[in-house]
Copies of this chain bind each other. A is one copy, B any other.
Amino acid sequence: MARTDSTRPSEARTRLLNTALRVFYAEGIHSVGIDRIVAEAQVTRATLYRHFLSKEELVVAYLNEVDAAMRAQASAAAERGNSPADTLRGLGEAIAAGIRSPEFRGCAFLNAAAEYPDPGHPVHQTVLAHRQWFHDTVQSLFTELGTSSAEPAARHFVMLRDGAMAAGCLSDAALVCETFLRGVDGLLRVHG
């Protein structure tokens, strides 16, 4: 009973976030009511609203969770790769691995943007912020690579990724990954 270790993040909050991550990603945001989330997280409404001011805030927290995971993924690729080209290839492989996983249901951010088209909405802004980070990260890698046109290359890379993520759950994932990785290879061949 004297468990004084990690009580800070609040167990109920963690359960809430994990449930939101799983359910929002799998079924969409507007399709899922807070009743579902509260029930599956085994938490009462009052607890949810003690940790988050609104459903909207929970959605933003969910996206931030995904964002953190992708930043970790990018960092891991950067540590593994011993050159910018290697890192970009590794990033591509990591993306492909995600697409191939059975739970894959597209890009959480593209899906969220489809549900929150209003550019001023906090959820939409969260999507834009994530995408800005991703583009900047990729562009830095192309710059390190020494190409004269890092920005167009980065935009091309991101476009391929967006297409792959969007189509990954609407057609054969293996074929999508093959096409994507081939495209990344071509990009690296041109700019390397």
A56 to chain B, nearest CB (A): 13
In the complex, which residues of chain B have a beta carbon less than 8 angstroms from the beta carbon of A178? Answer: 152
The count of identical subunits is 2
Per-residue B-contact encoding for A49-80, CB less than 8 Å = 1, 0 else: 00000000000000000000000000000000
Interface residues of A: mostly helix, strand, loop or mixed? helix
Task: Find out whether the CB atom of A163 lies under 8 angstroms from the CB atom of B159.
Answer: yes
Task: Find out whether the CB atom of B27 lies under 8 angstroms from the CB atom of A182.
Answer: no
CB within 8 Å of B: which residues of A?
Answer: 26-28, 30-31, 105-107, 110-111, 113-118, 127-128, 131, 135, 152, 155-156, 158-164, 166-167, 169-171, 175-176, 178-180, 182-183
27 A-B contact pairs sorted by A residue (CB < 8 Å) = A28-B30, A28-B114, A30-B115, A31-B115, A106-B113, A107-B166, A110-B110, A110-B170, A113-B170, A114-B114, A114-B115, A117-B169, A127-B170, A128-B170, A131-B167, A131-B170, A135-B171, A152-B179, A155-B176, A156-B183, A158-B163, A159-B164, A161-B163, A162-B162, A163-B164, A163-B166, A166-B166
